Chains A and B, each alone.
Chain A
Amino acid sequence: RKEVEQDPGPFNVPEGATVAFNCTYSNSASQSFFWYRQDCRKEPKLLMSVYSSGNEDGRFTAQLNRASQYISLLIRDSKLSDSATYLCAVGDNFNKFYFGSGTKLNVKP
């Protein structure tokens, strides 16, 4: 079983839509959680950390559900520029990150 799993998508949504991705992790002792965005043929860029109480940054909301071992990312009012692959990352307490394989989002006009 993979450490971190994501639905690869693609999610095809119209501009202005709200879209949500989930990412499940297998290690209940995981300590830290992040969402990254990766554009085609580019490096991943940190989108936001995910805190236990949930956190919001503009149109983006991240949540952590420890009981069910998943994190989520909600994007409101989708823009064309949100089209990218979204990677979740889960850190254990031994210095290591595990990345999901990414969920591809296509926002269409």
Chain B
Amino acid sequence: GAVVSQHPSWVICKSGTSVKIECRSLDFQATTMFWYRQFPKQSLMLMATSNEGSKATYEQGVEKDKFLINHASLTLSTLTVTSAHPEDSSFYICSARFGLSNQPQHFGDGTRLSIL
């Protein structure tokens, strides 16, 4: 149980392109979804937290107009990196949780984004 699917796994695109990443909880309803970014050999950095039907809460230093998050249903959240540039290249990982903060987060497979 607790399967989270993330798509696509890899994206390579030109600078200025907008990229959309989907995160789906396949066998449970995710009360909360989280988006992280991880640079090589560094720890997970929380970008934003989203609850179904409400606006995402962004961490300090994360531009909400650059990283658009939509959490339209209890099983789907999307992250759109708008007008991506090479410095946005990273490993983006979503996670989903059912219930309160004493429940674990379950991670998607991650999306490796490379901007040329």
Q: Is the CB of A94 within 8 A of B44?
A: no
Q: Mask for B6-23, Cβ within 8 A of A = 1, else 0?
A: 100000000000000000
Complex interface: stretch among A14-22, A41-49, A56-64, A67-75: A41-49
A87 at the interface (CB under 8 A from B): yes
- Complex interface: chain A residues within 8 A of B46 (CB): 96-97, 99
- Complex interface: chain A residues within 8 A of B110 (CB): 42-43
With an 8 Å Cβ cutoff, the count of chain B residues facing the other chain is 23
B107 at the interface (CB under 8 A from A): yes
A55 at the interface (CB under 8 A from B): no
A89 at the interface (CB under 8 A from B): yes
Q: Is the CB of A97 within 8 A of B107?
A: no
Interface of B is mostly: loop
Given A43-B108, A45-B107, CB of A99 within 8 Å of CB of B44? yes
Which of A89, A92, A95 has the most CB atoms of chain B within a 10 A radius of its CB?
A: A95
Q: Which of A72-107 contact B (CB under 8 A)?
A: 87, 89, 91-97, 99-102
Given A43-B93, A101-B42, CB of A96 within 8 Å of CB of B105? no
Complex interface: stretch among B61-69, B71-79, B82-90, B96-104: B96-104
A93 to B101, CA, bound (A): 6
Q: Is the CB of A95 within 8 A of B44?
A: no
Q: Is the CB of A100 within 8 A of B43?
A: yes
13 extra interface residue pairs, beta carbon distance < 8 Å, beyond A42-B110, A49-B104: A31-B101, A34-B104, A43-B6, A43-B108, A44-B44, A44-B107, A89-B104, A89-B105, A95-B49, A95-B100, A97-B34, A99-B44, A100-B43
